[in-house]
Every structure is written in C-alpha cells, then in structure tokens.
Structure 1
Amino acid sequence: MSTFSHIALLGFRQALTTSLSLPIELLEACNQQFTRRRQRPPIKLELLSLDPPPLATSGGLVLQADQWLDAEPESAPWPVPDILIIASRWRHPLRGGAQRPEVKQWLQQLASHGCELCAVGTGSYFLAEAGLLDGRAATTHWHYFDDFENRYPRIKLQRDHLITEAGKLYCTGSVNSAADLVIHLIDRHWGADIAHQVTQQFSPESRRPFANQAYRSEHNLRHGDEVIALAQSWMHRHFGDPIRIDDLAQRSGLSQRSFQRRFQRACGQSPLQYLQQIRLDSARELLQNSNLPVEEISALCGYTDASYFSKLFKQMNAIAPGQFRQNVRRKLFSADDRFYEGQD
C-alpha cells in the first residue's frame, strides 16, 4: 500500500469541468479520511495547465492552476508526478494541445518513469499522440470512436468498454467511468476501507465496480487463450442478462464441450462457476453500498428467483444476503461512531 503520492491533473482551455473537479473531489475525500483518522493525508494534489492563466473550462468556471507548463521540458523540467489525470475536452480533443511536441515528450518521459497515466474521455488523444497506446487497448468518448480509430489504426480501440487498462495506462469513456477508475486507484494504493468510505460520499448506488467494466490487457490475456478472454469480457459486461453456456460457446465459435474444456483449462473453473462468481461479487457490492431490496439486487445480478439467489449467496459467503448487509453496515457505522466519540 502506498504511503504518499503526488497526483497531478492536466487541464487546458475548454476542458470539461467535471473531468477535473470530480477526480479532485474524490481524491480530497481520500485525504479527509486520513485526516479524520489523525493520519497524514497521503496525496499531494496539483493542477497543471497547458495554457496561460486564467484556465477557463467548458462550464465557464475559471480555475487557478498550480503550474502553467509554458516552457520546454529541457530548459525548465516539468513535474514528474506518480499519477497524472488528463482532462477531457468539450470540443475536438486535438485542439487542447495534444499535438504539441513538448507535451508528447513530457508524457513519454512520465511513462518511462513509471507514472500512471489516466485519460478521461477524449484525454486519450494525448496518450495516442505521444505514441504510448500503439499496440495497446484504449477507449475514448463514444462520439469520437470513428475519428480515433481512423487516426490511430495501431491502437486496439475497445468500443464496448468504458475503462481500459494497459499496464500503467488507463483510458475511460466518460467522467462517470473516470470516477470509478479513481475509486479503483484509491482502493489499490490506500486500501478497500478508504475506497469504500470515499464511495459512500458520492452516490454509491451508481458506482460500478472497476473489475466489472474494465478491459484489462494483462488480465484478459494472461492465460493465452484469446477466445476465452473475449468470452470472459462478455460475461463481465452482461452478467445481469440471461446467459446460457451453450450460447456462449456458439458466440465463441466452439462446441459446448470444447468451450467448457478450454474455459476450465484457461481459468481453473467452469464457465458457470465463473459467471456465478461475477454475479455474487456484484451482489456483495450492491448489498454493501446501496439500499436496494434483496429481490431487486437478485434481478440486477441475473437471478430471476430471489430464493435461489439467496441460497447461492449463502453457499458462497456462509451468510444470507440480508444478514450480510446488516453485518457490514454495523461495522461501518460502529467505526464512524468510534471516531466521533469525544469530538463534541
């Protein structure tokens, strides 16, 4: 788990306001959780601008940037943060500065230093122009799919995914997906408990687990069977729909027997076991982070029979769904109560 990180956000004229403000709010909420626990906040946040001040966003807000990146990297080295979040642009993304040679060079330098580069929406054009996405999976805002694919034919555009992960390069198709990505980064760097507490402040019912919507190059291909990787990806995106294993086999161009055998060899479990795991993991998230009735959660996770769902959930978790919700909520609010003791 990380102890301290320098996280920078890259803005420019006509940047989509929420592509900057929402990640900032989430990361500041992370810092606040550490302050509440009387620990040192782990994140240093910095807003960088490619344009001279003032930085006017698409929403008409004027932001005060910490640095204006107006110099060549050689003469005045630009910062090297641990994580860089690149804003999305309201108009065509290439007008935001993605084609500036010094910007390309800086992004290449960041990648070589191990910086995690996170592009929100059309911010993916910055990574594409720097050549960092060649041969890798990426996504962008849906309106620019065709343009992106035509300009960068060497990039593996993922039209069906709102988040892609290729090593330390992340792309999201929307601001909401960027929020899910930021929660994932908080989870990975500072723990699931902190990520959960931050999620509670920002409409937890609408947050979708990162693993259920991200295309992860290394994860999807680590077993080397691309046909099965595509089937896994499809299951993650459609786990709430009625799914038949023979339909999955047909979609994969295999007989049901061959599909079952290859899936078991690649994943170490049957397709049905894998699907049940996805569904029940999602049910756990909803039970913990939403107020939806158990019957509705059952339906959202692909189970038309709520009693059958409850039976499966208890088999996997050794506890019924309703009791699981009570237990996790009790732990959550007990922790909050302990913090507030003596604070009046």
Structure 2
Amino acid sequence: MKHISILSLYDATLTSIDSSRQILTRVNDFMKYHGNPPFYTVEIVGLEERMEMDSGLYHINTHKTINQLDKTDVVVLPLLCGDFPKAISKNKKYQDWLIRQYHNNAEIVCLCVGSFFLASTGLLNGKKCAVHWAVKNEFQAMFPEVTVVEDSIITDENGIYTCGGGYSYLNLLLYIIEKHLGREMSILASKMFEIDIERKSQNPFVIFVGQKRHGDETILKAQELIESQPTTIFTVDEICNTLDVGRRTFERRFKNNTGNSVVEYMQRVKVEFAKKHLETGRRTVNEIVYELGYNDIDAFRKVFKKFTDLSPVDYRKKFSR
C-alpha cells in the first residue's frame, strides 16, 4: 500500500483537499470491486489537529500532524488562495518536513498554484513546472530558477508532479493513478468522476497578459503601443524608430523582459483580439482576420492555433453562444 499525505496548508482551498481525498480513497473501492486489496491509505496531515482553510472560511480536522508522521509515500500539496507570499510565509514550518520526505523517496503531487509553496522549498529549482496562465508572470518573477512549461497542463520530473490550471489538478490525479495502477484504473476513475481524461493543455483557456513588472520604460512603451493598436501591422523597425532605439538592443531587451519576441508579442495581442470577437461577435472569421491586417487567412489560422491549440472556427464553437 502507498501512504498518501494531503497537506492541509494554511490558506489552502478546502475543495482541492477534499476532492483529492475523495478520488484517491475511491480508488480503493474500485480495487475491491475487482477483487483486489486496497492500494492507498489517504490521510490529511497538518501542523495542528485542526487547521484553517480558505483564509479562515473553513476549518478541517487532520488525521495526523507532521510531527506524528516520519515517512509517507506521496505528498499532495493543495491549491493556495491568492496572496502567495503571505501563504508561503504562513506555511514555512512545512518546508523542512516536505524536503525531508522528498529526499526519503516520497513523490510530490502539486495541485495548480500550490506550486508557489513547492517552489519556495527550492525543490523545483532547475526543474519544469506547469503554472496557471493567470499567475505565470508572478511565478516567474518570484522563482526565476524554475522552468515554467506553457504547452502542457502536467509535468513529471524526478518524482515531482505539477499542473497548470484551476481544476486541471483532477487530470493530475488521474495521471498519478495511472502511474501507480495503470491506464484501466485511470479510465475507470475518469468515467466515475466524469473527468475529461484527454485534456492535455490549458492553451484554449489562456487570456494573454503581457509581463509588465520589469521596470524597463522603453519596453513598456512598446508593449502599450502594440496593445493599443491590435489591428495595426507594425514592423520591428517602425517600433524602434518610434521609440528611438537600436533594433538589436531593443529585441534583446524585449525578449528578456517579456518572455516573448516582438513578433510573438504582436501575434499574441492579435490572437487575443480575435478571440474576443469570436466569442461575442457575429462577424465571420475572414472579416476578423482582415481587420487584423492579415491578407493570408491560412497564415493567421496557423498563428491562432499555435497559441490556442484550436482553429478560429473550433474556438468559436467552444466559447461562443
């Protein structure tokens, strides 16, 4: 049997703790149905016997405190509420215990923005981490030693698993079940809890927000220029002339500060413009694309799919009324 410790971190969401407990415990029922012994022992573990959740909205009773648990096989880190530096500070007493468990061969399953706490331990340094698109810029600023992954909702590296996107942690739990017990059991859990097992990316859900917490005034002006005129086709040279800056230096600074090349940034702004009109408007895809300054419809379709994993038509079907 594998012992699973779901940490009741301060300011964690009760939903992520309870749904993890329910899904992993239910696996034992599936095992029993197939004539097999239970596989998981699932316990909620905390600093105290009664822990505060969701900024004091709820309280939860734990099975054990970390002082009562020397060894576990799997540690589940739940989602945290919004003030991440504050949450990290409040949960600092967990850090040494978590690091010790990992070095004692425990797997770490990190649910969405629980990654802020995990990264604060240093265990993610030099590793990949999937991060919710809405907090990617904040995470990168706080933890530059961690490699943020944007093209997948799940990472799996050296016994540490992360996921990006609010309820994508349900997919991560299915992934863990498959790692431990095989595809058949994962599919059964998917069907019983009605979780889309094939969801692989958060790209269709991303709202692009440019990184602007870098303090480079010239780059900020460039970002504002691009974002204020999404239907204008700018060349890099035109932007450089407007800002009176050399192209080579400008492109390097832009990439370093925003994480995107100038061309990628302009493409993402245009794609965001198109997405909003596909969601709410009645104009055809061609009309929207021409307004954005593209003469080649196929070229824009490729750009759109690059950032959303969907064609403009499929995006409209998914998100339009």
Distance 1:25 1:208 in 2: 21
User: Shift in Å at residue 116 of structure 1?
Assistant: 1.0
1:35-184 matches, within 5 Å, as: 35-50=32-47, 53-57=50-54, 60-69=57-66, 76=67, 78-97=69-88, 102-184=93-175
Match of 1:207 among 197, 205, 218: 197
User: Shift in Å at residue 54 of structure 1?
Assistant: 4.2
Identity rate of aligned residues, in percent? 20
Please give the secondary structure, in 2, of the residue aligned with 1:201.
helix
User: Shift in Å at residue 213 of structure 1?
Assistant: 4.0
Equivalent residue letter for 1:154: E
Counterpart position of 2:310: none
1:1-344 matches, within 5 Å, as: 4-50=1-47, 53-57=50-54, 60-69=57-66, 76=67, 78-97=69-88, 102-204=93-195, 206-208=196-198, 212-213=200-201
Equivalent residue letter for 1:141: H
- Number of paired residues? 215
Question: Is the Cα contact below 8 Å between 1:121 and 1:171 reproduced in 2?
Answer: yes
Question: Is the Cα contact below 8 Å between 2:10 and 2:55 reproduced in 1?
Answer: yes
Please give the secondary structure, in 2, of the residue aligned with 1:170.
strand
User: Shift in Å at residue 79 of structure 1?
Assistant: 3.5
Equivalent residue letter for 2:8: G
Equivalent residue letter for 1:79: D
Please give the secondary structure, in 2, of the residue aligned with 1:45.
strand
User: Shift in Å at residue 142 of structure 1?
Assistant: 2.8
User: Shift in Å at residue 7 of structure 1?
Assistant: 0.7
Equivalent residue letter for 2:74: I
Distance 2:127 2:41 in 1: 30
Please give the secondary structure, in 2, of the residue aligned with 1:13.
coil
Distance 2:68 2:22 in 1: 28
Structure 2 CA distance for partners of 1:58 and 1:175, relative to 1, 3 Å: farther
Distance 2:11 2:134 in 1: 17
Question: Is the Cα contact below 8 Å between 1:141 and 1:173 reproduced in 2?
Answer: yes
Question: Is the Cα contact below 8 Å between 1:12 and 1:57 reproduced in 2?
Answer: no
Unmatched tracts of structure 1, length 5 or more? 70-75, 215-242, 252-298, 301-344
Equivalent residue letter for 2:134: H
User: Shift in Å at residue 98 of structure 1?
Assistant: 5.5
Equivalent residue letter for 1:120: L
Distance 2:47 2:152 in 1: 29
Structure 2 CA distance for partners of 1:63 and 1:129, relative to 1, 3 Å: same
The superposition leaves residues 236-271 of structure 1 with CA deviations (integer Å, 9 ceiling, x where unpaired) of xxxxxxx99xx79xx9xxxxxxxxxxxxxxxxxxxx
The RMSD of aligned alpha carbons is 3.4
Counterpart position of 2:252: none
Structure 2 CA distance for partners of 1:164 and 1:99, relative to 1, 3 Å: farther
User: Shift in Å at residue 166 of structure 1?
Assistant: 1.8
Distance 1:96 1:68 in 2: 19
Distance 1:121 1:104 in 2: 18
Distance 2:91 2:51 in 1: 20
Structure 2 CA distance for partners of 1:127 and 1:100, relative to 1, 3 Å: same
Equivalent residue letter for 1:65: T
TM-score, reference length from structure 1:
0.54
Structure 2 CA distance for partners of 1:43 and 1:169, relative to 1, 3 Å: same
Counterpart position of 1:331: none
User: Shift in Å at residue 45 of structure 1?
Assistant: 0.3
User: Shift in Å at residue 130 of structure 1?
Assistant: 1.0
Counterpart position of 1:290: none
The superposition leaves residues 35-54 of structure 1 with CA deviations (integer Å, 9 ceiling, x where unpaired) of 22333211000101245624
Distance 1:143 1:17 in 2: 21
